[in-house]
């Protein structure tokens, strides 16, 4: 069984923030947490990125994302929805 993870991502990003967001998404795929990340518009300011994670890895994935957000100072750019 899988569980959905939703991330709220700011649209207006500078080059460094865009690079960090792409790095996060790439690492989620490279680590085998997901194979695809779906991107939908929420409104003028935010995208919603969703992907499914295996139930037994759900907490590990959330902790990885939270740690990445903190390390890269992305708290105002990306958050859990």
Q: Consecutive sets of 10 residues in the chain, 81 residues long: mean pLDDT of each? A: 92 94 96 94 96 94 97 95 91
The side-by-side arrangement of strands in the sheet containing 46-54 is 38-41, 46-54, 2-10, 78-80
Tens of pLDDT, residues 9-28? 999 999 999 999 999 999 99
Q: Nearest to residue 78, comparing CAs of 5, 16, 2, 17?
A: 17
**Cβ–Cβ under 8 Å, residues 76 and 58:** no
């Amino acid at each position: 069984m899988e569980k959905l993870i939703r991330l709220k991502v700011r649209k207006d990003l500078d080059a460094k923030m865009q690079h960090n967001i792409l790095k996060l998404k790439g690492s989620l795929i490279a680590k085998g947490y997901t194979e695809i990340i779906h991107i939908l518009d929420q409104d003028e300011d935010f995208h919603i990125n969703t992907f499914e994670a295996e139930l037994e890895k759900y907490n590990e994935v959330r902790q990885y994302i939270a740690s990445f957000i903190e390390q890269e100072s992305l708290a105002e750019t990306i958050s859990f929805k």
